[in-house]
Amino acid sequence: MSDRVAGDRIELRGLRVVGRCGVLPEEIERGQPLEVDLDVVTDMAAAGVSDDLADTVDYGAICAAVERAITDGHVQLLEFLAGKLADAVLAVDGRISAVEVAVRKLRPPVPQHLATSGVRVTRLRP
């Protein structure tokens, strides 16, 4: 995450969800595997002392929100999807101060041998 966003982070890596993202006919009609990485900025001092789940952000709820956002219809651009995912994460818990979202197509529709195509965005709570 950018050096401008300081704080504790929950790191979530490799969340895979099938969604419809793209402009080609096959991307509109059929889902494709997408992979998401998240860095969620939140103060973890209380949880670090208490060892109590109530003192931290529920990453299961974050994953569920991201999955819902991906499967909620078709989007054309990964850039749009990344912003939508960031908004969904920030809505999960008011203690989240920022999030960095990386989202990748695991089967990008190009003739070259390309492992993934993706974008990364950082959003701060207003």
Catalytically active residues, by annotation? 105
Question: Which residue in the block uniquely carries the two structure tokens 């103060």?
Answer: 43
Spatial distance between the Cα atoms of 35 and 79, rounded to a whole number of angstroms:
14
Q: What is the largest CA-CA distance in the chain?
A: 53
Which helix (H) or strand (E) segment is 116 a member of?
A: none
- In one letter, which amino acid is 105? K
Sign, Cα dihedral of 22, 124, 61, 51: positive
Spatial distance between the Cα atoms of 101 and 99, rounded to a whole number of angstroms:
6
